[in-house]
Amino acid sequence: MLHGEDRPPGLQADHLRFATEDTLADALPGSEVLLVWDFTSDAVRDAWPAADSLRWVHTASAGVDRLVFPGLLDSPVTLTNSRGVFDAPMAEYVLGLVLAMAKDLPGTLAAQGRREWRHRETEPVAGRCAVVVGGGPIGKAIARLLEAVGMQVELIGRREFPALPDALPRADWLVLAAPLTDTTRGMFDAAALARLRPSARVINVGRGALVVEPDLVDALREGRIAGAALDVFAREPLPVDSPLWELPGVIVSPHMSGDLVGWRDALVEVFTDNLIRYRAGEPLRNVVDKSLGYVTGGTS
């Protein structure tokens, strides 16, 4: 198991070889199963030549972009993810961001800190249009919650990508929840952002590289869009000198939209269930189509 500063709760050490980025290459020989607990690391790619017996790699994340490299892609190794753990938490987080920005909660808190009584009007949420990019379980969960508060939602999955340019001018809110693939990397560049209306806001809970970050900074700085709530970034942690920290109308959070209390236990449950299936020779759940970079079926 590849881990960082923390280890998964409840897994017995006698069934696992614990490894960090520095020791993974030494732990891989002879291992059939690899649990990638530290899903922000590129250590698997670097240590791949030592994987002489691997049959299955499981990542404690929904996104698999760190694991889609030629060695794994060209191998018969099965890749699974933790699909299902983050759907509801991320949908709640996006709804919270929409409400916070529409009702100017950042402004209220800032005024409170200054002990300033400043009355103002806020924006409606019901009736506004949200274009949600990402047709998987997370995107669908986000769409359901936004529709529940009266928003008009256009859900753009892979098949609808050709229609995205026409949808962008209708968006009051552009919500990014797509996986990072060769198709989606950098798809929101200056040209795409220019199709948004000046009152539109961008929420990104997918992957930072979906957006060309300098283009987003320029659009925000020049007032070509009204704001952004960003939970993911091209480089994480977000560098302290990034202009995103201080641009008006921007909310920065540290890649936490899916992390409810108990999320680590839920991730362990997904892996443990699949481990039982693996040992019994049963089909695994959440098998990733490595050519696409995401799960395409239901449970297998």
- Extract the tokens encoding 26: 């030494």
Rounded to an integer, what distance in angstroms lies between the CA atom of residue 38 and that of residue 161? 31
3-state DSSP: the chain helix, strand, coil percent, rounded to 5? 35, 15, 50
Catalytic pick from 17, 255, 264, 277?
Answer: 255
Q: Is 236 a catalytic residue?
A: yes
CA distances from residue 22 to 43, 44, 56, 109, 242 in whole angstroms, order as listed: 8, 11, 21, 43, 29
Residue labelled with tokens 């709530």? 229
Distance CA 270, CA 84 (A): 9
Neighbouring-strand partners of residue 35: 58
Question: Buried (b) or exposed (e) across 108-119, using 16+ Cβ within 10 A?
Answer: eeeeeeeeeeee
Cα dihedral sign for 213, 216, 93, 205? negative
Q: Produce one character per residue of 161-176: b if its CB has 16 or more CB atoms within 10 Å, e if not.
A: eeebeebbeebbbbbb
> Which amino acid is residue 171, in one-letter code?
A
Residue type, 105: L
| 255 is annotated as an active-site residue | yes
Per annotation, catalytic residue among 58, 128, 207, 285:
207
What the block records as the tokens of 2 is 């590849």
Do the Cβ atoms of 140 and 53 come closer than 8 Å? no
- For residue 289, the one-letter residue type is D
Query: Are residues 254 and 116 in contact, defined by beta-carbon separation less than 8 angstroms?
Result: no
Say which of 32, 147, 160, 236 is annotated catalytic: 236
- Say how far apart CA 214 and CA 89 lie, in whole Å: 29
Q: What angle do CA 104, 107, 111 make, to 5 degrees?
A: 145
Q: Look up tokens 């991730």; give the residue.
A: 267
Residues assigned a catalytic role? 207, 236, 255
